Amino acid sequence: MSREITAEFCYSIYHSAKMFAQKGIHPKAIKNWEPIKGRPTWPYFEKLADMLHRSAGRIDPKEYIETVVNFYPKSITPKMLTTPKGVKAYKSQIKQDRMEANDDYKIGIMKNSILYIVKFCLDNDIKDFREYFHHKENIYPSMVHHMESGKLSKFIVHIIPNLKDRLDAYPADIRADFFNDKFWAENSIFIVVANNNSDMKKIKNNIEVIINELIKKNNQRNK
């Protein structure tokens, strides 16, 4: 199903990605758009929405915005999203296979997946990662649905502690379809990659704690 690309959509993705990249928090949903639309930077989001709309589906809007934000996590500005600098950052990343992408990009993708899990848990009153892992949407575990739809990077799935043991709780056909030999071959490669990068190793060794703390932090902020 196609999504309407609006300036509001672009701003929401940008704001969430920037807040998480810089502060590790997921911002509250925007209820009053008038102050935001009155800012000098608002025309950049209108221009961005038009640019992405004209791409006629060749560019995934969410992936584009998150990629550029994660490429320039500390210096990103709304203007950069529509400049050749932003487009170049996006193109330089998508042409690489994700398993061979540079470490900073992989870390950005991992952080975006953490953000997605946290948001999903907050939106569905899920208290922690363990409950998320076992949560279902129709007949499929939510995690599998998110992984296959591209909302959740396999980078994060690969580093879930005790993954093989945890998957015993999933139906056999789910394990056979989605956690096959190819998946475990990729898993072995990525674990080695993660262990050789200090930042990725930190995420790998603390992924469940990180997600649980972010859920707790955001729940406290929203009280």
Domain boundaries, the chain: 7-95, 99-221
According to the model, what pLDDT value does residue 42 have? 97
Could you give the CA distance from residue 131 to residue 166 in angstroms, rounded to a whole number?
12
- Identity of the amino acid at 33: W
CA dihedral (63, 190, 218, 149) in degrees, to 10, reads: 40
Residue 1's pLDDT band, with cuts at 50, 70 and 90, is very low
Tokens of 202: 């930190």
CA distances from residue 28 to 52, 94, 122, 179 in whole angstroms, order as listed: 25, 29, 11, 34
Task: Give the tens place of pLDDT for each residue, 35-72.
Answer: 999 999 999 999 999 999 888 677 889 889 998 998 88
Q: Do 156 and 207 form a contact (C-beta atoms < 8 A)?
A: yes
